[in-house]
Structure 1
Amino acid sequence: MADSMRVIFADIAAQSPGGGPLYVKLKRIIERAVDRGLIKSGDALPPEREIASMADVSRVTVRKAVQELVKEGLLIQRHGSGTFVASRVKPVEQYLTQLTSFTEDMARRGMIVRSEWLDRGIYAPSPEEMVALGLTSGEKVARISRLRVANETPMAIERAALAASVLPRPEDVTTSLYAVLAASGNRPVRAIQRISAAILKENDARILEVQPGSASLNIERISYLESGKVIEFTRSIYRADAYEFIAELRLSGPSEQSAEAAGAVL
């Protein structure tokens, strides 16, 4: 990376002959490097003093070029971390009104989906899994953990847990978990999801190909069968720059408000 940066920033005057402020020339060189993929989304730029040395310009020139690119959204600055190329991923919009799988969501958008398996196996349940799935101490849990990728962009880390009696062979899940559950008559019909904002830790950030400390959307989902039995406990970590969750809210009408008021009186 260091050698490639030296090539990118070497001799600004030679790369951009002619008049014009040096900071504008440096700004254009950074823009071209990003457009050509020489510097990718999430990559860190060298410190100001190093760019100034490689480009043979002042630190003031570097600072002005970087500030302009931050204003335009090409670069982002994180206090104490440095300057990075901003994500250029177009966020996927996910509505919260339907219970669908990731595979189904992406297929409806015409996106090519694949998974990278992080774990598939049968384990002793954790206390949290026992409570969520209603398991006894003698029962086992099936875990499937995978990186979900759409159009070659890492989107989410999904860690699902189910009773081993429901999914005795986790390796049977090759694409959609819900398709496998449907085949055995165990596809969930409703779910409760809790969404929270979080900061990505180093390992998860590496898997999602973003910088540690980047924002994420964490979702905990408990899914139910028609009978009311819990069938799935899933914790997912979504890249905040690649996913947007949308919910449609309706204001209750006067008649509904009156009914609620009457119920409160009763």
Structure 2
Amino acid sequence: MAELFTPEAFEETGSGPLYLQLHRLIADAIASGRLQPGDSLPSERELAAMTGLSRVTVRKGVAELVASGQLVQKRGSGTFVAPRVEKLEQALSLLTSFTEDMARRGRSVESRWIARGLHAPAPEEVMALGLSIGEMVARLERVRSSDGVPLAIERAALSQTTLPNPATVNDSLYAELESRGLRPVRAVQRISAANLNESDAELLGVPPGVAGLKIERISYLPSGKVVEFTRSLYRGDAYDFAVELKLAPEGERNP
């Protein structure tokens, strides 16, 4: 570590601001493997002494890497190289649960429940689910992880008649719905970009403000009745969503 952070690595002119030089030095060391996931960086004071840079310059250079997700800071512990997250590609043409999707990849699935229970519905839940007056809504909120890495926050809402007891859901909501003969057969999804707020970022183990994917799904039974209204947040560094496009039939093309 000492041979990486030396005063000779920094130039006063010609290579940009000193904090950016420090940023590039650490980023290049991570990319080349000189710094490995989980490695601890020297403290701000130690980095300043090793490099000859001011603590303000060190703080700014490190902050840029924390903001981009390459470094993580743990209160009371220090600054560490962030773990590498395998980028997953999810096909948008398949209606699957998180559990089913990870199982197809041969990956483990873990859920950390934040809340599950019956509540008075919010206006958007009444509209999405077509609830009757006085009908309660079952809410399920959890962090979905695979192989120990948190990937998504899932917030699902269903009518009380569909899911009278939310506590019966274990790993897979769709497995529970299938056991009740209420497995959805189609869905409409809307995907938008989002910057994760502090509480959501903490749940996903990333810095606040990093890019995420907000996905809203409304799922339907064969009868056309809405069965599920789910709003999820996915880590932007962990997911790509892919869809296959086909040429429209000749009669439907613009002349």
Name the counterpart of 1:226. Answer: 222
Distance 2:232 2:5 in 1: 47
**What SS is found at the alignment partner of 2:157?**
strand
> For 1:196, which of 192, 197, 202 is the aligned residue?
192
Distance 1:218 1:27 in 2: 31
Alpha-carbon offset, residue 90 of structure 1: 1.2
**What SS is found at the alignment partner of 2:52?**
coil
C-alpha spacing 1:141/1:149, structure 2 compared with 1 (3 Å):
same
C-alpha spacing 1:170/1:261, structure 2 compared with 1 (3 Å):
same
Distance 1:105 1:196 in 2: 21
Distance 2:252 2:245 in 1: 19
> For 1:186, which of 182, 188, 197 is the aligned residue?
182
C-alpha spacing 1:28/1:218, structure 2 compared with 1 (3 Å):
closer
Name the counterpart of 1:57. Answer: 52
- The size of the alignment, in residue pairs, is 227
Alpha-carbon offset, residue 37 of structure 1: 1.4
Indicate the structure with greater helix content. Answer: 1
**What SS is found at the alignment partner of 2:213?**
strand
Q: Does 2:250 correspond to 1:249?
A: no
Distance 1:28 1:261 in 2: 48
What do the CA deviations read for 1:106-158 (whole angstroms, capped 9, x no partner)? 00101110100010000010000000000023100000010000010000000
Letter in 2 for 1:35: Q
The answer to whether the 8 A contact 1:156-1:236 is kept is yes
Distance 2:184 2:111 in 1: 21
Gaps of 5+ in 1: 1-7, 77-82
Q: How does 1:81-230 map to 2 (within 5 A)?
A: 85=81, 88-230=84-226
**What SS is found at the alignment partner of 1:187?**
coil
Letter in 1 for 2:149: T
Alpha-carbon offset, residue 239 of structure 1: 0.3
Larger Rg: 1
Alpha-carbon offset, residue 192 of structure 1: 0.0
Name the counterpart of 2:40. Answer: 39
C-alpha spacing 1:129/1:30, structure 2 compared with 1 (3 Å):
same
The answer to whether the 8 A contact 1:87-1:241 is kept is no
C-alpha spacing 1:111/1:230, structure 2 compared with 1 (3 Å):
same
Letter in 2 for 1:230: V
C-alpha spacing 1:202/1:29, structure 2 compared with 1 (3 Å):
same
Letter in 1 for 2:227: I
Distance 1:221 1:46 in 2: 44
Distance 2:217 2:5 in 1: 54
C-alpha spacing 1:21/1:260, structure 2 compared with 1 (3 Å):
closer
C-alpha spacing 1:96/1:259, structure 2 compared with 1 (3 Å):
closer
Alpha-carbon offset, residue 53 of structure 1: 2.5
Letter in 1 for 2:49: M
Distance 2:5 2:217 in 1: 54
Distance 1:138 1:193 in 2: 27
Distance 2:225 2:171 in 1: 24
**What SS is found at the alignment partner of 2:233?**
strand
Distance 1:240 1:28 in 2: 19
Distance 2:245 2:83 in 1: 30
TM-score of the superposition, structure 1-length normalised? 0.74
Alpha-carbon offset, residue 75 of structure 1: 4.6
The answer to whether the 8 A contact 2:37-2:80 is kept is no
Distance 1:116 1:74 in 2: 22
**What SS is found at the alignment partner of 1:154?**
strand
Name the counterpart of 2:251. Answer: 258
